[in-house]
Amino acid sequence: MVSHSLALPMICFTTLWGLVGVVAPFLVPKGPNRGVIVTSLILTAICCYLFWLIAILAQTNPLFGPQLKNETIWYLLYFWE
């Protein structure tokens, strides 16, 4: 039985988008477009991290479960487990 934790994905994704948004701006070479690239990296990191965070937070404490057809349940009982 596989159980997913909340902590592990949180750490992974936070570090990933943290790298993109905080560390990568320092690695951008100096040039006329440096400002634009840094802004884009920070905004991308914020938007993508936020989007993933909303998806996982919405599912941490479900108030109701999925309603399946009996055929689907039969199939899944043998396919997934």
Partner 1 sequence: MGALFRSEELCLVQIFLQSGSAYNCVSELGELGVVEFRDLNPHVNSFQRKFVNEVRRCEEMEKTFTFLEQQISSSLCCPVSETLSIPSPVPSAPQPRDLLAIEEESERLATELKQVSENRDSLRSQLTQLQQYRGVLIQTHSLIDSQPPPPASLDTSLLDNGPEAHLSFVAGVVHPWKVPAFERLLWRACRGYFIIEFQEMEKNPNVLETWTVFLISFWGKTIGQKVKKICDCFHANTFFYPENTEERQELQKGLQSRIEDITQVLFQTESYLQQLLCRCVSILPQWKVCVMKCKAVHSILNMCSASVTDKCLIAEAWCPVRKLLLLQSALTEGTRRSGSIVDSFYNRLPLSSSSSPPTLFTTNSFTAVFQSLVDAYGVAKYGEVNPAAYTIVTFPFLFAVMFGDVGHGLLMVIAALWMILQNKDNKNTHFKNEMWRTVLAGRYLILSMGLFSVYTGAIYNHCFSRTLSIFPSSWHLRPMNWSDDTLRGSRFLCLDPNTTGVFRGPYPLGIDPIWHLASNHLTFLNSYKMKMSIIIGVLHMTFGICISYFNYSHSQQWFHVLLVLIPELLFMLGLFGYLVFLIIYKWLAFGPGQSDRAPSILLHFINMVLFTDNKETPPLYPGQRQVQSVLMVVVLTSVPVLLLGRPIYLYYHHTRRHGQCATTEHPTITDTSSINTLLGDLEGGRREQEEQEFDAVEVFMHQAIHTMEYCLGCISNTASYLRLWALSLAHAQLSDVLWMMVMRTSLSSRGMLGSVVLAGFFSFFALLTVSILLVMEGLSASLHTLRLHWVEFQSKFYSGTGYKFSPFSFTSITNPL
Give the binding site for partner 1 (CB under 8 A). 1-6, 8-9, 32-36, 39-40, 43-44, 47-48, 50-52, 54-70, 72-74, 76-77, 80-81
Sign, CA dihedral 45-50-51-55, equals positive
Judged by beta carbon, residue 22 or residue 68, the one nearer partner 1 is 68
Question: Shortest Cβ distance from residue 12 to partner 1 (Å)?
Answer: 8
Judged by beta carbon, residue 23 or residue 36, the one nearer partner 1 is 36
Distance from C-alpha of 37 to C-alpha of 24, rounded to nearest angstrom: 10
Question: Shortest Cβ distance from residue 74 to partner 1 (Å)?
Answer: 6
How far apart, in Å, do the first and last CA atoms of the chain sit?
Answer: 8
DSSP code of residue 19 = I
